[in-house]
Structure 1
Amino acid sequence: MTEHITTSAGDRVAFDHHLAADPTDDVVPVVFVAGAGPHRGSDQVTTETARLLADLGVPSVVHDRVGRGESPADAPIHLDRELAALAALIETAGGRAILCGHSSGCTIALAAAVGGLPVTALALWEAPLGQGAEPTRDWWARTAKQIAAGDREGALATYMEDMPAEFLEAAKAAPDYPATVAAVVSYGPDGESLVWAESQPLSVLLRDLDIPVVAAVGAETFPGMPEAADAIAAATDGRSIVVDGAWHSWEPRAMASVLADLARVTAEK
C-alpha cells in the first residue's frame, strides 16, 4: 500500500514500506535507492527483493524518487532534494538504515552516508564509476543543459550515450517511453552525485566512511563494473562480491540474502 511523506525540501514522496512479519531483534531496515529511470511501477526486481527481504525478517522501504512515478516534482531537481527524501525515509523506517544503491543510486547512497545521514551500512550494486573527472563533468554539463532547455528526449540520449546502444533502443520501443522521457527531470541527483564521486580519488572522498560496505556485481556484467566495485571496496575497507544477476540487474533471492546478512551484521554492532 502506497504511503507518502513530505521532505524538508517540501517534496511529497511516495513509498512502499515492506514490513517483516517476524522482524529480527534490533534489525536495521533497508532503504533502496534506484538509479536513473526506475520507479516502483516499473521496477519489479526491487519490489520482489523487498518482499523476500521481509520474509527473512528485515523491513525495507522502496520509494519513487523525487520527480518520478507517484512523487511528482517541478524541475530543477538537485541532489539535495533526493538526500532530503532519503533523510525522511530513513526517519520513517526507524531512524537508521542500510542503503542499497543500484547503478547511479550507488553514488547517491555514498553521498548520503558521507554527508552524515544515519546510514549503518551500504550495499552498492554496479556503480558506474571509472570514467574520470573531466569526462564526467562534460557529460553531465551537456545533459543538464538539455534538461534545462526542455529537450528531455535529447537529454535521455545524452545521459545514455556510454551505455550499450540497445539500452536506448529498448527504451524507445517500450510503451512507457513517453513517461521515461518525462522522468529525465529527475536525473539531476544521478548526474551530480556521479560528478562528485569522480571528482577525487575514492580513497579521498570516502576516507572518513566507517561503516560496512558491500560492492556487488552480477555474474554477467559489463566491462568496468568489477573494477569499480573493487575500487569502492578498497577505499572503504569493504567487500567486493559477485552475486547472481546479469547485465546490470540482480537476482532478487540472491540479493535479498546478501542484504539480510548485512542487516544482521549491522544489528550486532
Structure 2
Amino acid sequence: MSSFATSRDGTRIAYDIEGSGPPVILVAGAMQFRGFDPTTVAMAGLLAARGFSVLNYDRRGRGESMEAPSFTLADTIDDLRALSAVAGGPVALYGNSSGGAIALAAAAAGLDVSALVLWEVPLREELGNDGADFLDGLRARIASGDADGTIAYFMKDMPPQWLEGARNGPGWPVMTSMGPSLEADSESLAWTQSAPRAELWASIEAPTLALVGEQTLPIMPPAAESIAANVPHARKETLPAANHSWDPEVMAARIAEFLARLP
C-alpha cells in the first residue's frame, strides 16, 4: 500500500519505501511512474537489498499523485523536499533521463543531497535557446487540451519508431493522461541552458556520477561530459546498456557501489 507525503501546495505525493540504510530517492524521467515502470520498481528492490532505504514515488500528475494544481519545476522540487523530510536527509538522488535534470536543479536549489547518480540526461547545447523554445511549445499544447498532440510534440526529437511504438501500444492512453506533468521535465532541461553550467551547478557539493550506456543516442555522451566538466565533484562512466534503457541488476549494483564508497 502506498504512503503519501504532502507537498508545499497541498499536493499528495504517493511513494513506497523499501529497505533500511542511507536514503535514496528515485526521480523518474518523462512518462514514468511506479505502475508504469516495472524496471525501476525492480531496481528499487535490488538496491534496497544492498543496504539502502529506497524511496520510489509517483511524480505529480502521474499514477497515484495525479491531482495537482500545477506542474512546474519549482513544484517538483517542493515535492522532493517533502519526500526528503520523509526519508531523512541528506538523501542521494537517482535521476533517470530528464529526471536527472530535475535532480540537478533540486541540488542547486539547496536540497540536502548526499550524492547524485544521473542516467543519460538529454542535455542540449550549453546556453542554447532550443530548450526554452521547446518548453514554450509544450506549454501551448498542454494549454490547448490536445493530449495526443502534447505527447507527440514531446517525443518529436526522439527516434520516430519510439513514437510509433507508443501510439500503437496499450500504454498510449496512460501516456497521454500525464502530458501536463511533462512541463517540469522540459523546464528542467531549459534551465540547464539558462546560464553557464559551471555557474548553474557551482553550489552542488554532492559527489555526482553521470552514466551513459555503451550504445546510446548521440546527444548522451556529450551531455554526460558536460555534467562531469561543470559539476564540481562529478565524473562520467559508461554502463553495459543500450537504447536509453538499463538492466535493473546492473544499475542497482553500480549505484550501490558508488554510494558505498562515499565518505
| 1:220 aligns with one of 204, 215, 220 | 215
TM-score when normalising by structure 1:
0.93
User: 2:63 matched to 1:69?
Assistant: yes
Deviation at 1:75, TM superposition (A): 4.8
**For residue 85 of structure 2, what is the aligned residue in structure 1?**
91
Determine which of 29, 38, 42 is the counterpart of 1:44.
38
The code of the aligned residue for 1:79 comes to L
- Structure 1 unaligned regions, length at least 5: none
Distance 2:85 2:6 in 1: 12
Contact map agreement 1:140 1:159 (CA 8 A) in 2: no
Q: Does 1:178 align with 2:188?
A: no
SS at match of 2:129: helix
Select which of 139, 144, 152 maps to 1:157: 152
- Superposition pairs for residues 14-33 of structure 1, below 5 Å? 14-20=14-20, 23=21, 28-33=22-27
- Opposite residue 262 of structure 1, the aligned amino acid is F
Q: Which residue of 2 aligns with 1:257?
A: 253
Give the Å deviation of 1:93: 0.9
CA contact (8 A) 2:95 2:101 kept: yes
Contact 2:209 2:236 in 1 (8 A): yes
Scaled by the length of structure 2, the TM-score of the pair is 0.95
Structure 1: distance between partners of 2:236 and 2:255 = 14
Q: CA offsets, 1:1-56, max 9 Å, x none?
A: 31111112211111111124xx4xxxx21101011101101111111111111111
- Do 1:16 and 1:61's aligned partners in 2 also have CA atoms closer than 8 Å? yes
Counting aligned pairs with the same residue, the percent is 39
Preserved CA contact (<8 Å) 1:75 1:185: no
How many Å separate the matches in 2 of 1:65 and 1:134? 26
Q: CA deviation at 1:211?
A: 1.4
Question: Does the residue aligned with 2:60 lie in a helix, a strand or coil?
Answer: coil
> How far apart, in 1, do the equivalents of 2:227 and 2:45 lie?
28
Question: 3-state SS of the aligned residue for 1:210?
Answer: coil
Contact 1:136–1:198 (Cα < 8 Å) also in 2: yes
Structure 2 partner of 1:168? 163
**What amino acid does structure 2 have at the position aligned with 1:29?**
P
Count of matched residue positions in the alignment of Structure 1 and Structure 2: 261
Report how far residue 74 of structure 1 moved. Answer: 3.8
Q: Does 1:81 align with 2:75?
A: yes
Mean Cα displacement is larger for which, 215-224 or 127-136?
A: 127-136
Where in structure 1 do 4 or more consecutive aligned residues deviate above 4 Å?
A: none
Q: Which runs of 5+ in 2 are unaligned?
A: none
CA RMSD of aligned residues (A): 1.3
- State the match for 1:5 in structure 2: 5
Work out whether 1:230 is the aligned partner of 2:233: no
Whichever residue aligns with residue 193 of structure 1, its letter is: S
